[in-house]
Chain A
Amino acid sequence: MNPTIDYHAILPELILSGTLVVVLVVDVFLRPPRKWLAMPLSFAGVLAAFVATLTLIGADRTTFGGSYHVDPFAVLFKVFFLSVAMIVLFLSLRYFREGRYYQGEYYFLLLSSVLGCVMMPSSRDLLMLFISLELVSAPAFLIAAFRKNDPRSNEAGLKFFLIGVLSSAVMLYGMSLIYGVTGSTNLYEIGKALAGHLGGQETLALAAILFVVTGFAFKVSAFPFQFWAPDTYEGAPVPVTAFLASASKAAGFTGLLQLMFVAFIHQAAFWGPVFAAFSIFTMSIGNLVALQQRQAVRLLAYSSIAQAGYMLLPFALAGHGVDKEAFAAAVTYILIYAIMNLGAFAVVVAVSRKSSALLIADFAGLMRNAPLLALAMTIFMVSLAGVPPTAGFWGKFFVFRAGIDAGGIGIALAVVMVVNSVISLFYYLAIPRQMILVEGPEEPMRSPALVTFVAALAAAAVIAVFVYPDLIAHFPPLSTLVGS
């Protein structure tokens, strides 16, 4: 085999790779006060990669011997990950500049992780998936521990690292078994092989699937593999947490979507109920524990666990004749979740300049001190709870829709999700309550322009998507990954 490489198809990845090397090299020649220039440099690279991705819209290309696809699904997520990357860069500038961290290294590591994210939706091969996932995770371990003087940040990085390595090992073991059973690492080939007769290795195949799923369950912080997330989110620098909770989590889900809906789809009757259990427990535990939180980032961490439960729900519907709808619902939810979550973290970044402890009580009086941020935060919290007039409503709506359409267990899951949504309102409203109803010290808050911009942009997007949900909902069904 002599693979010809389709350079246009991998142009965004090439640009990103080039940029991160340049960032690392240029950093060496910058004097300390100018180290922050790594950020605009990184931004230029991400923007170029973004433009390159836009040229791939509508493409359907394969390269590297069929292990790397650029199709509507991949392009949608590449556009999404690169947008998230730009936003995280905006949030990072002041934070890392003022904190005197190693900025060059930070941007280099962040871009590496973004590169992994961008590769993920194209990876249609077990090895490729594994490489992408490690590329997402390994730099993230380091930047989670970037607040070196704070033991909580060290704990964040260490916990994240140990859990990440453990889950990777479990996953890799599962993948090796899959290869043993099917004789292929290509997802489509595996799908075909698993559809046929396995000659007595059915049980082994199911065990292997379970291992792989477990590995991903760690990544997306599904119960009972969620316990690292609150500590890591709390300890890591806030922009890094924003990245972990949106891009890194979404990357895990992208990999999971491809595995489950392409390679393992014929075993859906087996893993569907597993995902149903994951979904129910993840959303319930996340929500119930979130009720007790006093610290804003921990609250958002448990919220993101609960949200992962909602995103896992459509997986449980696979094999009930609504694969396409369930798949589209999961993708739509992931995209909408990222917008509102990033927005919320932008506000947290702004508040963290005032109080590094980031207790919910520190949000008191924000409505008076920074009305724009407070209003945006209110919109994000209402949206995360899924109440109109916000985009979060549509995210939940499409999941409900797929559940009702599937009937049976789907309806039961939808009801559980409904109850959970109501519970979640209670803690989501705690922050607006603090900002608006509780009088805080009167001191006008100066928030970095870029951070305010991100919050305003995300709030506008949340409202716009609510008014015209096709802005997002139009794209996931275009994916050719799942046949109807």
Chain B
Amino acid sequence: MSGWEQSAITIATFLPLAGALVIAMVPREKERVVRGLGIVFTGAAFLVSIVIALGFDYGVGSKLQFELDVRWIAAINARYHVGVDGISLPLYVLTFALSFLCAIYTWRFVPSPGKTKAFLALMLLLETGMAGTFIAFDLILFFIFWEMVLVPMYFLIAIWGSANREYAAIKFFLYTVFGSVFMLLGFLGMYFRSDVAGHHSFDLLRLTNFAAAGGFSHGFQLVVFGAVGLGLAIKVPMWPFHTWLPDAHTEAPTVGSVLLAGVLLKMGTYGFIRIALPVLPYGAQKFAPWIGLLAAIAIVYAALACLAQKDLKRLIAFSSVGHMGFVMLGIATLTSIGINAAIFGMVAHGLITGMLFFLVGSVYDRYHTRQIAEIGGGMMQKLPYLGGVLAFVSIASLGLPGLAGFWGEVMALLSSFNPSHAAGLNTGLFRGFMVAGGIGTIITAGYFLWMLQRVNMGTLPERWKEAAFPDIVAVEWVSWVPLLVGIVALGIFPRLIFGVTDGAVNGLLRLFGAA
């Protein structure tokens, strides 16, 4: 194995951190240099991630590639073990892509109160934490990257957020920490019950093998799945742990919302697929109906909540809860279709909802309000391009066939028609969830179209007639076009994702075949 293969993902993951340090040293006055460095570093990291994706051997997606496994903390046998497989690669690349586009967007739009230097440094720090989560194959390493996103995101919301920012920021922080420390206790439980050649281990692959050989007792798996699942569920967030999300997403600055929705939420669902399922297969089987139930509730609840929203950004935030419900429903079926759908859903949601938050940010930039009633309709007359893109992305989000949002949802529903028999899941129950999810999609279509009717259609209110709003500007086009292309491309060629994930997902599900 060449040095490049061993170091590539480490380089990509830590480039943003290096960027943050460099930016911190640039004098405050050199505003353009700071913004330029943000683009350069996120761009370089994105480029490396593309090279990794090109070098990835798609024939063996279930095999860990670009792997590096070195000693880190001898005292607890924690290792710096990183790599990518078919499950993590799409999310890994998505992280760099979204961060890069956010850096481009920041070239023109720095949220009040400015302080570009700190803003970009925190964003880059956040990027390292997010990317690291998707490559860590050691539980301690995973946990550290997982927690590393908290402090930057707290400040991004608390400093650059809107009116209620401090409340939202602390709520986000406390809620997530509360869940993740239980997750840590669960990891410690796994560690002490594991026995790999006479040693306890935090290594994900070794723990998976140990679990596959029946190393963890059933009672133990139930308890630990509860602890780890709580931490992951808060991050996703699953209903009823979702209450931090509408506040955080609504109050965060545009870039913060994009990264929160686009990447941060996926850390939770990814954790289920990467850790909870393979290491605790029995726990997963027993919890699956409950996860399915919460997911079904989330879908319907979020859709109903969206109908009642008056704030455009809060509406998008609540729609995230529903979309993550579909992802969790797919995971809960423990089938190949379901988990493939979940990963597809994560990437699609990252593109679509990330894009929606960009749009809301730009709408606010023009109108200085996010209240649907105050915008008052007629945006298609005033800002035809912005209105058109908003309509396009909203329709993608409600799951129109041919666009990215479709595959994740429809396949999640499809998989719940026939949940895993090997895992002993109740078919009738999951078909019930499917019906609930189906109802959710109808309401989702309803609230998106209603929102478009109130924002885009109708006559322009008097108060905006004279306003000098620019339509979509160059920087916005540059940062949005890749997302729009991605939404169409994934809709037409779902194999772009399924081709990558399928092998890895089937490898994972072999653990359940025997159970």
Residues of A within 8 A of B (CB): 382, 387-389, 393, 397, 400-401, 404-405, 411, 414-415, 418-419, 421-422, 425-426, 429, 433, 436-437, 468-470, 473-474, 477
Q: Is the CB of B75 within 8 A of A388?
A: no
Convert B413-434 into 0s and 1s, putting 1 for each residue whose CB lies closer than 8 angstroms to a CB of A: 0000000000000000000000
Closest residue to A474 on the B side, CB-wise? B75
Interface size class of B (residues with CB under 8 A): 20 to 34
Q: Is the CB of B73 within 8 A of A470?
A: yes
Q: Do most interface residues of chain A lie in helix, strand or loop, or is the interface mixed?
A: helix
Q: Is the CB of A470 within 8 A of B75?
A: yes
Q: Is the CB of B174 within 8 A of A425?
A: yes
Shortest beta-carbon distance from A233 to chain B in Å = 26
Q: Is the CB of A437 within 8 A of B188?
A: no
Measured between beta carbons, the chain B residues less than 8 angstroms from A421 are: 177, 181
A-B complex: 10 closest residue pairs judged by Cβ atoms: A404-B188, A388-B147, A418-B181, A422-B178, A473-B75, A388-B144, A422-B177, A405-B192, A389-B148, A469-B73
Q: Given A418-B182, A437-B159, A474-B75, does the pair A387, B188 have CB atoms closer than 8 Å?
A: no
Closest residue to A439 on the B side, CB-wise? B113
Q: Is the CB of A426 within 8 A of B170?
A: yes
Confirm or deny: B251 has a beta carbon within 8 angstroms of a beta carbon on chain A. Answer: no
Confirm or deny: B151 has a beta carbon within 8 angstroms of a beta carbon on chain A. Answer: yes
Confirm or deny: B150 has a beta carbon within 8 angstroms of a beta carbon on chain A. Answer: yes
Measured between beta carbons, the chain A residues less than 8 angstroms from B72 are: 468
Measured between beta carbons, the chain B residues less than 8 angstroms from A389 are: 144, 147-148, 151
Of B75, B147, B150, B188, which one neighbours A400 at CB under 8 angstroms?
B188
Q: Is the CB of A388 within 8 A of B170?
A: no
Q: Is the CB of A429 within 8 A of B73?
A: no
Of A393, A404, A477, which one neighbours B75 at CB under 8 angstroms?
A477
Q: How many Å lie between the Cα of A477 and that of B74 in the bound state?
A: 12
Measured between beta carbons, the chain B residues less than 8 angstroms from A470 are: 73-75
Interface residues of B in 154-175 (CB under 8 A from A): 154-155, 158-159, 166, 170, 173-174
Of B173, B181, B188, which one neighbours A401 at CB under 8 angstroms?
B188
Confirm or deny: B496 has a beta carbon within 8 angstroms of a beta carbon on chain A. Answer: no
Q: Is the CB of B155 within 8 A of A411?
A: no
Confirm or deny: B492 has a beta carbon within 8 angstroms of a beta carbon on chain A. Answer: no
Could you jot down 15 A-B contacts, CB within 8 Å?
A387-B177, A397-B184, A405-B192, A411-B185, A422-B177, A425-B173, A426-B170, A429-B173, A433-B166, A437-B158, A437-B159, A437-B166, A470-B75, A473-B75, A477-B75
Shortest beta-carbon distance from A232 to chain B in Å = 31
Closest residue to B140 on the A side, CB-wise? A397
Q: How many Å lie between the Cα of A103 and that of B174 in the bound state?
A: 45
Measured between beta carbons, the chain B residues less than 8 angstroms from A415 are: 182, 185
Confirm or deny: B486 has a beta carbon within 8 angstroms of a beta carbon on chain A. Answer: no
Measured between beta carbons, the chain B residues less than 8 angstroms from A388 are: 143-144, 147-148
Shortest beta-carbon distance from B358 to chain A in Å = 26
Other A-B pairs beyond A418-B178, A473-B73, A474-B74, 15, CB < 8 Å: A387-B151, A388-B143, A393-B144, A397-B184, A400-B184, A401-B188, A405-B188, A414-B185, A415-B182, A419-B178, A421-B177, A429-B173, A436-B155, A436-B158, A469-B75
Closest residue to B75 on the A side, CB-wise? A473
Q: How many Å lie between the Cα of A323 and that of B174 in the bound state?
A: 32
Shortest beta-carbon distance from B348 to chain A in Å = 30
Measured between beta carbons, the chain A residues less than 8 angstroms from B73 are: 468-470, 473
Q: How many Å lie between the Cα of A242 and that of B72 in the bound state?
A: 33
Of B75, B147, B182, B189, which one neighbours A387 at CB under 8 angstroms?
B147
Shortest beta-carbon distance from B85 to chain A in Å = 25
Shortest beta-carbon distance from B231 to chain A in Å = 11
Measured between beta carbons, the chain B residues less than 8 angstroms from A387 are: 147, 150-151, 177
Confirm or deny: B76 has a beta carbon within 8 angstroms of a beta carbon on chain A. Answer: yes
Q: Given A382-B151, A387-B147, A433-B158, does the pair A400, B185 have CB atoms closer than 8 Å?
A: yes
Shortest beta-carbon distance from B18 to chain A in Å = 14
Closest residue to B165 on the A side, CB-wise? A437
Q: How many Å lie between the Cα of A414 and that of B188 in the bound state?
A: 11
Measured between beta carbons, the chain B residues less than 8 angstroms from A469 are: 73, 75
Q: Given A382-B151, A418-B185, does the pair A404, B159 have CB atoms closer than 8 Å?
A: no
Closest residue to B175 on the A side, CB-wise? A422
Q: How many Å lie between the Cα of A426 and that of B189 in the bound state?
A: 27
Measured between beta carbons, the chain B residues less than 8 angstroms from A418 are: 178, 181-182, 185
Q: How many Å lie between the Cα of A437 and that of B154 in the bound state?
A: 12
Of B143, B151, B174, B189, which one neighbours A422 at CB under 8 angstroms?
B174
Q: Is the CB of A422 within 8 A of B184?
A: no
Closest residue to A388 on the B side, CB-wise? B147
Closest residue to B24 on the A side, CB-wise? A375
Q: How many Å lie between the Cα of A473 and that of B75 in the bound state?
A: 7
Most buried by A among B147, B166, B178, B188: B188
Q: How many Å lie between the Cα of A401 and that of B139 in the bound state?
A: 14
Closest residue to B74 on the A side, CB-wise? A470
Q: Is the CB of A404 within 8 A of B148?
A: no
Q: How many Å lie between the Cα of A404 and that of B181 in the bound state?
A: 13
Measured between beta carbons, the chain B residues less than 8 angstroms from A477 are: 75
Measured between beta carbons, the chain A residues less than 8 angstroms from B170 are: 426, 429
Shortest beta-carbon distance from B257 to chain A in Å = 19
Measured between beta carbons, the chain B residues less than 8 angstroms from A400 are: 184-185, 188
Closest residue to A432 on the B side, CB-wise? B155
Q: How many Å lie between the Cα of A426 and that of B166 in the bound state?
A: 12
Q: How many Å lie between the Cα of A414 and that of B227 in the bound state?
A: 13
Q: Is the CB of B174 within 8 A of A426?
A: yes
Q: How many Å lie between the Cα of A401 and that of B200 in the bound state?
A: 12
Measured between beta carbons, the chain B residues less than 8 angstroms from A433 are: 158, 166
Q: How many Å lie between the Cα of A389 and that of B177 in the bound state?
A: 13
Measured between beta carbons, the chain B residues less than 8 angstroms from A397 are: 184
Interface residues of B in 181-205 (CB under 8 A from A): 181-182, 184-185, 188-189, 191-192
Measured between beta carbons, the chain A residues less than 8 angstroms from B155 are: 436
Shortest beta-carbon distance from B394 to chain A in Å = 34
Shortest beta-carbon distance from A418 to chain B in Å = 4
Closest residue to B178 on the A side, CB-wise? A422
Q: How many Å lie between the Cα of A418 and that of B307 in the bound state?
A: 38
Shortest beta-carbon distance from B189 to chain A in Å = 6
Closest residue to A401 on the B side, CB-wise? B188
Shortest beta-carbon distance from A351 to chain B in Å = 21
Measured between beta carbons, the chain A residues less than 8 angstroms from B192 are: 404-405
Shortest beta-carbon distance from B301 to chain A in Å = 26
Q: Is the CB of B181 within 8 A of A422?
A: yes
Closest residue to B78 on the A side, CB-wise? A469
Q: How many Å lie between the Cα of A433 and that of B165 in the bound state?
A: 12
Q: Is the CB of A404 within 8 A of B189?
A: yes
Closest residue to B76 on the A side, CB-wise? A401
Closest residue to A418 on the B side, CB-wise? B181
Q: How many Å lie between the Cα of A474 and that of B75 in the bound state?
A: 7
